[in-house]
Structure 1
Amino acid sequence: MTNRMWTRGVEWLAAAAADPRTCKWEWDHGEGIALLEAGRFWDMLSVPERLGLLTLDLLWRPSLPVPGPTLVDTASGRVGFFLPPDPAEGWVGAGLRHAGRGSWVAVPPPYRATGFLEWLVPPDGNGTLHSPGTLELALRQANGTLAVLAPLGGP
């Protein structure tokens, strides 16, 4: 990713903060994590890590657009997919958590990992997000694969 793309990614992500300037300062000089409100520019769907990593692999098909911003939280074992606000799909399923309006999401800067948070796909600065329909299909396929593999390898 080029410096220009990172700069645009920083500006795009910080725009979700109540005070973008303070957000950027926190990324550079503070703990390196900012709490950003979901629901205005994006929502986030958080899924268990194994499901999320397999889903992201499925989304990297040549026939599909490049996936939207995706964050991994290694401390809680979860992967977060950034989606358009209030997607039409009802996100229902074991282990799925939807963060929309009124929810806050901890995020590191797009240019580095911070502690247990790391971008698997950083924001590109253009506002690219995951397509809810494409994400749902990939989640269903990944869930089916994990269901088949579970008896072979445990949890």
Structure 2
Amino acid sequence: MRNAMWMQGVEWLAAAASDPQACKREWERGAGTVLLEAGRHWDVVSVPRQLGLLALDILWYDPLRTPGPTLVDSAAHRVGFFVPPDPAGNWAGADIRRASKGSWVAVPPPYRSAGSVEWIVPPDGSGTLHPPLTLELALRQANKTLAVLAPVSAD
């Protein structure tokens, strides 16, 4: 069952490549990531790791919904949430970035990490993405929590 989900995830991700077969071969042979263009099948909202992990934890609270594909890059200290292309929402904020058409994202295969980049929630092949409004609200809530937890500066 798990292998079938991974294979569906591979097919779904590879569909974003200009040459899906070459993408899959690179994942099979290589130990790393492939660059996939955002904007066709998905965009990626990238946030600082602490904010992203807290927002993902908030998203897991909904028992009726599994969060969409989510990457973590431990070296860059960032979490990337896969959302529909050109999502509505307010993505402005402290160090929040959106990779969309014309941007490239380093993506490992769903079944293994590649260096510092790994899936927290791998794609299941169904095409499920993070709903933009739900993600935006989780990020706002996480930001509020982090503001409360931030140490008070000594002036």
What secondary structure is seen at the aligned counterpart in 2 of 1:76? coil
- The one-letter code of the counterpart of 2:83 is L
Which range moved further: 143-152 or 9-18?
A: 143-152
TM-score normalised per structure 1: 0.95
The runs of 5 or more residues in structure 2 that have no matched partner are: none
Find the aligned partners of 2:64 and 2:85 in 1 and give their Cα distance: 21
Residue of structure 1 equivalent to 2:30:
30
C-alpha separation in 1, matches of 2:96 and 2:35? 20
State the alpha-carbon separation in 2 of the partners of residues 89 and 141 from structure 1: 15
SS at match of 1:145: helix
Instruction: Quote the Cα distance in structure 1 between the aligned partners of 2:63 and 2:147.
Output: 25
2:104 equivalent in structure 1: 104
Q: Does the 8 Å CA contact 2:90/2:136 hold for their aligned counterparts?
A: no
Superposition deviation, residue 151 in structure 1: 1.1
Alignment-mate amino acid for residue 60 of structure 1: W
**Counterpart residue number, 1:57:** 57
**Partner Cα distance (1:64, 1:151) in 2:** 35
Q: Show the counterpart of 1:128.
A: 128
Among all aligned residue pairs of Structure 1 and Structure 2, give the percentage whose two residues are the same amino acid: 69
Which residue of structure 2 lines up, in the alignment, with residue 5 of structure 1? 5
Question: C-alpha root-mean-square deviation of aligned residues, in Å?
Answer: 1.2
User: What are the ranges of 5 or more consecutive residues in structure 1 without an aligned counterpart?
Assistant: none
Q: TM (normalized to structure 2)?
A: 0.95
- Per-residue CA shift, 1:57-80, capped at 9, x if unaligned? 000013451000000000100000
Give 4+ residue runs of structure 1 displaced > 2 Å after superposition. none
